[in-house]
Amino acid sequence: MLGLSKSDIRIFLLVVVLTIFAPFILNPFPEASGLAQFNAGYPDLMQRFVIFGIFAIGFNILFGLTGYLSFGHAAFLGVGSYAAIWMMKLLTMNVIPGIIMSVLIAGIFAVAVGYISLKRTGIYFSILTLAFAQMSFALAYSVLTPITGGETGLQPKISDPRMLDAALASGEAPRANLFGLEMGTSYELALSGWVFTFNVGYYVAAIVMIIALYIAIRIFRSPFGVMLRAVKSNQQRMRYTGLNPKPYTLAAFVISGMYAGLAGGLMVAMDTQVGPERMFWTASGEVVLMTILGGTGTIVGPILGAGLIKYMENILSKINADILYEWFAMLPDSIADILVFVIYPFIGKGWHLTLGIIFMCVVIFLPGGLVEGGQRIGNMFGRKKKTEGEKSSQPAE
Amino acid sequence: MSDIKITRRGILKGGTIAGAGLAMPTIFTSSAWAGGHSGFTNAPTGNTVTLGFNVPQSGPYADEGADELRAYQLAVEHLNGEGDGGMLNTFSSKALDGTGILGKKVEYVTGDTQTKSDAARASARSMIEKDGAIMITGGSSSGVAVAVQALCQEAGVIFMAGLTHSNDTTGKDKKANGFRHFFNSYMTGAALAPVLANAYGNDRKAYHLTADYNWGYTTEEAVKNSTEALGWETVAAVRTPLTQTDFSSYIAPVLQSGADVLVLNHYGGNMVNSLTNAVQFGLREKMVNDKNFEIVVPLYSRLMAKGAGANVKGIFGSTNWHWSLAQGFTDASGKKVAPDAASAAFVKSFGEKYGFPPSQAAHTCYVQTILYADACTRAKSFKPSAVGEALEGFRFDGLGNGPTLYRAEDHQCFKDVLVVRGKENPTSEYDLLEVVEITPVDQVIYDASIFGGELGGFNNGA
């Protein structure tokens, strides 16, 4: 079906189903309960899950297949974002032209950066990409202020030209939409205590992610994908057989840059604002973490990694000391104090610490990332399907 | 895979899917950033109301963020009738009675802006979408303030800006749902220039070092225009990268330029480093054009003064509020200024709770919370348009800055501006600045249209 093998189609459909029902899955706790703190089913975070999922899928095409570690992917994310916001300012608040343009501009930029950076391999390649990203950040932050808005960034304004749009009614602000359907529109379904939010923006981003994932799977399983793996395993041997790896690596670099641009364009479509710190080197590092955490070279790994990191960034970081005391309210004060003292460094602003520990554990005990963890658990329980389990662990590379 | 088993679980699953399917067509009919049904975003339904405190808890301004959060917690206590009431007792509007806002107990959620627009917006969106916050406030940088203000405008909640000094926040990027109590670059220039001319003469040559980002530009422009109007000459204005930590290479050319005043348009760690470098170079002992070389820091904060230590002694700058107002002081002309009762009340309740005096960031955040609560009470509604109208053109007193106006045209507060100087003999680590003059509001007010931008209409969201 769809030109995918049986095991791929199973993974693909699983992702599709999970994405469609994310508003339910991510809101497991009733609104009024204390555990509602851990609910992640609100539009902003769900949108972030899928957008960073796209970003990580694209990064994985480069890193997972060719082994080239780019430390500057956030630059493409930023370039895509700026392209999209300018389309919104100049042409229309409809998200389609913005998204298309973000992919194109990021692609062109990736050709330039890739052409130069790919002259080197290994650590030198990583440093070159990092340098490009930091240069882009510095340019956007100050030198290119007329185009990028500098530190304050860009937003749609009432006074923008928007050549294709009808004039706004007075008192109306420009809003991102898809042929009139606003991205911020949500429908809330209340079911005895539970509240589920279905957001237009989320489903638009989710459809784009599913398409992006499908294309990525096809790339992984194509002869082109095999070539990329050949680059990773031994470039020299590839050259001896008369094949030039450069076009393949450049193509992979550009494709993955376009994925990043797409993610950037979607970010603008969901939340119409761009700032230069989107291109900062920490943002580039984040996508590396996502990919490694989820499972480098696997199909769903990067999406899982992106989800985990965004979940921790948005949920764990919001738990403060007061909330901890609320949880331990029934314990004696002294014990509560000790517990809070022990837990506090790992939550709230200390969420990076927790992330670091998880990351270390994954790298040491599960080199294949969360996907490998899932497979091990699967193998432990699925005794009957042992042969199948072994088979599915193979394409994890 | 081919044999189909009917299980209880399977039926439940199928039922849920079918239910969701049936619900689908209605998804696009109802618009909701909101939980309530009263015609605006996050209308409070129970007996509580949730405010969102979005402050930098990590990154370069974490200290300021921590102080802002302390002030917010204090304001919430006072609004809920706990503690000694602080500035509620001195506030000219008596609408608030210590029973929360409109009889609803005030609760709050906190978030970390990381001083990044993206992170700040993510955090604000989660407060609005997940926690049902009706108002967002806080922040310690103009980039973040502008970004979050635009978000609040879209979402239909009120934004009460924290520490943000760039002209843009209520200038070219102003939004109807956003309000700023803090002063701005323009006011700094207008207040500082006469004091500088007075102290250093009218024929000075100034050299600007400016942090290479938006706030730096507006501050440089403001100081340049106001000092040039009084006869100063600007020799050069050099941009320095924001990430710069060693400014020696920028300080060295200053002496060759023939300038006799150095203006450091830097904030936070930048200012601490550039000032320290300048002092180490011995600039302040130099005589240029037969005049003593001077250094000026347009925007001061107590936390920065602490970082720069003894280097701030005798250096002029401006600030929104300083806790020494609580004690009264003698200004540059020898005039005695009586202690301000409101500042005294605030310093007292803050000091009793936390053990040290509040910073200007804490003050502006506390005041913004009180002003918001008061506006809701006077409007008898949480509806952003009603609250906004109550704030527009509102004149008040007794919140530490003397008589103040919330101007309707750009949602900017106009009040006296403090010109401060690094103290020669500090008595404690908090006592580093002394107020030398209170520049009256008439000297710093400007026409609302000079920065461009459009306020637009209020957005009530859903």
* Digitized pLDDT (tens) for each residue of chain B, 462 residues in all: 445 555 666 555 655 555 554 444 444 333 444 333 467 889 888 899 999 999 998 877 888 899 999 999 999 999 999 989 999 999 999 999 889 999 999 999 998 888 888 889 999 999 999 889 999 999 988 889 999 999 999 899 999 999 999 999 999 889 999 999 999 999 999 999 999 999 999 999 999 999 888 889 899 999 999 999 999 999 999 998 877 889 999 998 998 898 999 999 998 888 999 999 999 988 888 888 889 999 999 998 888 888 888 899 999 999 999 998 998 888 777 788 889 999 999 999 999 999 999 999 999 999 999 999 999 999 999 999 999 999 999 999 999 999 999 999 999 999 999 999 998 888 888 888 989 999 999 999 999 999 988 888 899 887
Contact between chains at A277 and B118 (C-beta distance less than 8 A): yes
Q: Could you name the CATH architecture of B186-319+419-441?
A: 3-Layer(aba) Sandwich (3.40)
pLDDT of residue B7: 65
pLDDT of residue B36: 36
Task: Determine the distance from the C-alpha atom of residue B330 to the mean position of all C-alpha atoms in its chain, rounded to a whole number.
Answer: 27
Q: What is the mean pLDDT of residues A210-228?
A: 95
Contacts of B116 in chain A (CB under 8 A): 275, 277, 280
- From CA B260, how far away is CA B204, in angstroms rounded? 6
- From CA A355, how far away is CA A282, in angstroms rounded? 14
CA Rg value for chain A: 22
Is the separation of the CB atoms in A270 and A176 below 8 Å?
yes
- From CA A310, how far away is CA A315, in angstroms rounded? 8
pLDDT of residue A380: 87
Find residues 131-150 of chain B whose CB sits inside 8 Å of chain A: 141-143, 146-147, 150
Comparing A174 with A383, the larger pLDDT belongs to A174
Please state the length of chain B: 462
Residue A188 maps to a domain: yes
Contact between chains at A271 and B26 (C-beta distance less than 8 A): no
B14 exposure class (CB count in 10 Å sphere: 0-12, 13-18, 19+): exposed
CB proximity list for A111: less than 8 A, separation 6 or greater? A250, A254
- Nearest Cα residue to B139 out of B154, B153, B159, B168: B159
pLDDT of residue B428: 85
Block residue for tokens 């302040």: B284
Identify the three-state secondary structure at position B49. strand
Structural domain count of chain A: 1
pLDDT of residue B28: 39
Contacts of B239 in chain A (CB under 8 A): 142
Residue A155 maps to a domain: yes
Q: List phi, psi (to 5°) of B347.
A: -60, -40
Domain that holds residue A140: 6-280
Strand partners, A198: A187
- The 10s digit of each residue's pLDDT in A11-67 is 999 999 999 999 999 998 888 877 888 889 899 999 999 999 999 999 999 999 999
pLDDT of residue B17: 58
Two domains, one topology: B48-183+341-415 and B186-319+419-441: yes
Beta strand pairing call for B291-292 and B261-265: unpaired
CA dihedral angle for residue B189, residue B194, residue B195, residue B200, rounded to 10 degrees? 110
> Which tokens sit at B217?
């530009």
- From CA B237, how far away is CA B223, in angstroms rounded? 11
Contacts of B213 in chain A (CB under 8 A): 141-142, 150-151
The DSSP code sequence of A230-258 is: HHHH-HHHHHHTT--HHHHHHHHHHHHHH
Read off the amino acid at residue A193. G
Look up the ipTM and state it.
0.84
Contact between chains at B110 and A320 (C-beta distance less than 8 A): yes
The DSSP code sequence of B119-150 is: HHHHHHHHHHHTS--SEEEE-SSHHHHHHHHH
Residue A275 maps to a domain: yes
Biggest CA pair distance of chain A: 74
Assess A13–B contact: CB distance below 8 Å, yes or no. Answer: no
Q: Helix axis angle, A281-294 relative to A351-365, nearest 10°?
A: 40
In angstroms, the separation between the Cα of residue B166 and the nearest Cα of chain A is: 10
> Which tokens sit at B408?
């309707």
Please state the length of chain A: 397
- Nearest Cα residue to A284 out of A135, A146, A152: A135
- Nearest Cα residue to A273 out of B461, B165, B122, B213: B122
Instruction: Give every strand in the sheet of B261-265, ordered side by side.
Output: B233-240, B205-211, B261-265, B294-299, B316-319, B417-422, B433-439
CB proximity list for B237: less than 8 A, separation 6 or greater? B207, B208, B210, B220, B224
Is the separation of the CB atoms in B124 and B151 below 8 Å?
yes
Residue A314 maps to a domain: no
Decide if pLDDT at A304 tops 90: yes
- From CA B214, how far away is CA A140, in angstroms rounded? 12
Is the separation of the CB atoms in A375 and A396 below 8 Å?
yes
- Cα angle for residues B334, B335, B337 (degrees, 5° grid): 130
Is the separation of the CB atoms in B181 and B413 below 8 Å?
yes
What is the third-level CATH fold of B48-183+341-415? Answer: Rossmann fold (3.40.50)
Q: Which of A75-89, A280-294, B112-126 has the lowest mean pLDDT?
A: B112-126
Q: What is the mean pLDDT of residues A150-174?
A: 83
Residue A38 maps to a domain: yes
How far from B260 is each of B28, B204, B256, B287, CA to CA, in Å? 66, 6, 10, 8
Beta strand pairing call for B329-330 and B233-240: unpaired
Q: What is the CATH number of the domain that holds A56?
A: 1.10.3470
Assess B57–A contact: CB distance below 8 Å, yes or no. Answer: yes
Q: Residue A105: in which H helix or E strand, if any?
A: helix A95-117
- The 10s digit of each residue's pLDDT in A329-376 is 888 888 888 888 888 888 877 888 999 999 999 999 998 999 999 999
Residue A359 maps to a domain: no
Identify from B45, B70, B114, B125 which residue to disrupt to test chain A contact, counting A C-beta atoms within 10 A and taking the largest count. B125
Residue A319 maps to a domain: no
> Which tokens sit at A24?
């339910």
CA Rg value for chain B: 25
Is the separation of the CB atoms in A303 and A56 below 8 Å?
yes
How far from A330 is each of A93, A325, A326, A333, B344, CA to CA, in Å? 52, 9, 8, 9, 39
Residue A338 maps to a domain: no
Contact between chains at A186 and B459 (C-beta distance less than 8 A): no
- From CA A4, how far away is CA A14, in angstroms rounded? 14
- From CA A296, how far away is CA B389, in angstroms rounded? 55
pTM, rounded to two decimals = 0.86
Q: Which of A212-221, A388-397, B337-346 has the lowest mean pLDDT?
A: A388-397
Identify the three-state secondary structure at position B450. coil
Domain boundaries, chain B: 48-183+341-415, 186-319+419-441
Contact between chains at B147 and A138 (C-beta distance less than 8 A): no
Q: List phi, psi (to 5°) of B259.
A: -75, 155
Q: List phi, psi (to 5°) of A154.
A: -120, 145
Q: Residue A335: in which H helix or E strand, if any?
A: helix A333-343
Mean pLDDT of chain A: 89
**pLDDT band, very low/low/confident/very high, at A392 (cuts 50, 70, 90):** very low
pLDDT of residue A303: 94
CB proximity list for B83: less than 8 A, separation 6 or greater? B74, B77, B349, B353
Assess A35–B contact: CB distance below 8 Å, yes or no. Answer: no
Contacts of A184 in chain B (CB under 8 A): 31, 33, 154-155
Find residues 222-261 of chain B whose CB sits inside 8 Å of chain A: 239, 241-242
